[in-house]
Structure 1
Amino acid sequence: MNLKILLPFRVFDQKTGVQRVVAESHAGSFGLLPQRLDCVASLVPGILVYETDADGELFVAVDEGVLVKTGDDVLVSVRQAIGGTDLARLRHSVEQEFLTLNESERNVRSVMAKLESGFIQRFAGFQHDR
Structure 2
Amino acid sequence: MHLRIFLPTEIFFDRQVIKITAEGDNGCFCILPRHQDFVTSLVPGIVSVTDTTGTAIHMGVDHGVLVKCMDKVNMAVGNAVIGPSLGVLERTVDEEFSVLDDKERTARSAVARLEAGFIRQFLNMEQ
TM-score (normalised: structure 1): 0.70
Question: Partner of 1:81 in structure 2?
Answer: 81
Equivalent position of 1:111 in the other structure: 109
Residue 41 (structure 2) pairs with residue 47 (structure 1): no
Partner of 1:125: 123
**Shift in alpha-carbon separation, 1:59–1:94, aligned structure 2, 3 A:** same
Q: Which residue of 2 aligns with 1:38?
A: 38
2:56 match: 57
Q: Is the 8 A contact 1:20 1:31 kept in 2?
A: no
Secondary structure of 1:94's match? Answer: helix
Q: Where does structure 2 lack aligned partners over 5 or more consecutive residues? A: none
* Aligned counterpart for 2:68 among listed residues 67, 70, 76: 70
Partner of 1:91: 90
Q: 1:117 to 1:97 in 2, by over 3 A?
A: same
State how far apart, in whole Å, the 2-side matches of 1:33 and 1:12 are: 19
The question of whether the paired residues in 1 share the 8 Å contact of 2:81 and 2:92 is answered with: no
Structure 1 segments unaligned to the other structure (5+ residues): none
TM-score, normalization: structure 2? Answer: 0.71
Contact 2:3 2:74 in 1 (8 A): yes
CA RMSD, Structure 1 to Structure 2 (Å) = 2.8
Counterpart for residue 4 of structure 1: 4
Q: Is the CA contact (8 Å cut-off) linking 2:21 and 2:49 kept in structure 1?
A: yes
Aligned partner letter, 2:122: A
Q: Distance in 1 between matches of 2:110 and 2:23?
A: 29
Question: What is the deviation of 1:90?
Answer: 1.0
Which amino acid letter does the alignment assign opposite residue 128 of structure 1? E
Count residues with an aligned counterpart: 123
Of all paired residues, the percent bearing the same amino acid is: 19
Q: Does 1:15 align with 2:15?
A: yes
CA distance in 2, matches of 1:56, 1:124: 60
What amino acid is aligned across from residue 107 of structure 1 in structure 2?
R
